[in-house]
Amino acid sequence: MKSDELEHNDGQSRAPSGARVSREAAPADGQGHGPPPTHQRAWASAPAVHLAPAPYVTIQLASYITGLTEKAIRRKIEDGKWLDGREYRRSPDGGIFISMKGYQAWVEKG
C-alpha cells in the first residue's frame, strides 16, 4: 500500500486493519521497526507485579477462566449441580461468586 493511500483529511493515518494511527506514534523508519513511544517504555523498567489468583470470582470472570458460558454457570447453580458453599457462594448483597477451588474439585470429580 502506498503512503498516500493511507492519508486522510484529518492528518491521521489508517492502518490496513482500520485502526487510527497518529503520525507522531509511527516508528521513525516507517516500517514498523524502532523503539516504541516513550510513554510505552516507562513501565518496562518497573518491577514485575505478581498477582495471586482470587479464591472467588464473578460469574463473568469464571466464564473467561473456565470456558463455560455465563448461562451454563447460572444453569448449573439453578439446577442444583453446583451447591452454595461448595462451587459458589453468595455475597451479603446477593451476588454470586464462583469458588475456583470448588470448580476445580467439580472438574476433577469427573
Q: Please name the residues in contact with 105: beta carbons below 8 A apart, sequence gap of 6 or more.
A: 86, 87
CA Rg value for the chain: 24
Lowest mean pLDDT among 43-47, 94-98, 106-110: 43-47
Q: Please name the residues in contact with 89: beta carbons below 8 A apart, sequence gap of 6 or more.
A: 56, 96, 97, 99
The overall longest dimension of the chain from CA atoms, in Å, is: 62
Q: Are 55 and 99 in contact (CB under 8 A)?
A: yes
Q: What is the pLDDT of residue 108?
A: 96
Q: What is the pLDDT of residue 31?
A: 59
Tell me the pTM.
0.55
Residue 98 in this model has a pLDDT that exceeds 90: yes
Residue 4 in this model has a pLDDT that exceeds 70: no
pLDDT digits (tens, 9 = 90+) for 13-26: 444 444 454 444 44
Q: What is the pLDDT of residue 58?
A: 96
pLDDT digits (tens, 9 = 90+) for 56-80: 999 999 999 999 999 999 999 999 9
pLDDT digits (tens, 9 = 90+) for 81-92: 999 999 999 999
